[in-house]
């Protein structure tokens, strides 16, 4: 691709560069599980897709597990709301760990909660998941949640995926 691009100039180069970048970014898949479907689809998905991520959404833990089972590769990040009816974040994490241990270890599963980061609910999820974060209050906060775990800045154009479990040391 680099060789082709070096031979091109003008609008053709710009179009191909954009296409290449989009194609690369589509590899980064984020699954969001939250019962507030409207918020997820109209806020989280809109913002993250604008950044070029592939965003999948599920309005319950059960549907989230279904999507995970259908995907060919593990999502890079799974954002799961900790307070949901039927199956809450903690139950989802236990199910994922039990039924899809490979995905559980490959994906970075991040709990999202409106509870305070010092609360016991928050700390329980943090122990079980890759990490736990307080629900963001602004656009940067949402992008930051994702970029922190991809090892890129929230403004970076080409997110580089870093796999494996590591601690980011604290929450937002």
Partner 1 sequence: MILQKFLEENRQEILLLSEEKTKNLAGLLATTDELRLGLPLFYDQLIKVLEQKLSANPPTEMLSAAAAHGRESLRLGYSLSHVVHSYGAMCQAITELATMKNANISSYEFNILNGCLDVAIAAAVSEFQFRSNEATEEREVKHLGFLVHELRSALSGAAVAHEMIKAGLVGTGGSTSSVLGANLVRMRDLIDRSLSEVRMRADADLFIEKFRLCDLFDQIIVTARMDADKKKQIIATEIDKKIEIEADRQFVVSAVANLVQNAIKYTKSNGKIWLRANASGERVFIEIEDECGGLDTAKISSLFEPYVQENADRSGLGLGLAIARRAIHLSQGTITVRNSPGVGCVFVIEIPQRIKPVPSTKLAVPGKDSVQPNFSKKV
Q: Name the residue nearer to partner 1 (CB basis): 115 or 149.
A: 115
Q: Provide the minimum distance between the beta carbon of 109 and partner 1 in the complex, in angstroms, as a whole number.
A: 20
x/- contact string, 67-106, with partner 1 (CB under 8 A)? ----------------x-xx-x------------------
**The tokens of 152 are what?**
């890129």
Q: Where are the alpha helices (DSSP H) in the chain?
A: 2-7, 10-25, 37-39, 45-50, 61-70, 89-99, 101-106, 120-128, 139-150
Closest to 48 in 3D by CA, of 135, 137, 140, 112: 140
Main-chain phi, psi angles of 114, to 5 degrees: -90, 0
Q: Which of 24, 128, 141, 152 binds partner 1 (CB under 8 A)?
A: 141
The Cα-based distances of 101 to 94, 121, 123, 172 in angstroms read 10, 23, 22, 27
Q: Name the residue nearer to partner 1 (CB basis): 1 or 114.
A: 114
Q: Which of 65, 78, 142, 150 binds partner 1 (CB under 8 A)?
A: 142
Q: Provide the minimum distance between the beta carbon of 26 and partner 1 in the complex, in angstroms, as a whole number.
A: 21
Cα angle, residue 169 at apex, residues 165 and 170 outer, rounded to 5°: 120
Window 10 to 29, contacts with partner 1 (CB under 8 A): none
Task: Enumerate binding residues for partner 1 (CB under 8 A).
Answer: 35-39, 41-43, 46-47, 50, 59, 83, 85-86, 88, 113-115, 119, 135-139, 141-142
């Amino acid at each position: 691709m680099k060789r082709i691009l070096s031979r091109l100039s003008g609008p053709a180069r710009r179009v191909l560069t954009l296409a290449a970048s989009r194609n690369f970014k589509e590899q980064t898949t984020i699954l969001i599980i939250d019962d507030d479907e409207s918020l997820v689809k109209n806020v989280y998905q809109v913002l993250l897709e604008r950044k070029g991520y592939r965003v999948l959404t599920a309005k319950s833990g059960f549907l989230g597990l279904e999507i995970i089972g259908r995907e060919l590769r593990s999502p890079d990040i799974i954002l799961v709301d900790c307070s949901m009816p039927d199956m809450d974040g903690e139950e989802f994490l236990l199910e994922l760990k039990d039924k899809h241990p490979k995905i559980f270890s490959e994906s970075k599963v991040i709990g999202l909660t409106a509870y305070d980061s010092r609360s016991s609910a928050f700390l329980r999820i943090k122990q079980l998941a890759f990490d736990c974060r307080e629900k963001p209050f602004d656009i940067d906060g949402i992008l930051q949640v994702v970029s922190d775990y991809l090892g890129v800045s929230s403004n970076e154009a080409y997110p580089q995926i870093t796999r494996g479990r590591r601690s980011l040391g604290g929450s937002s």
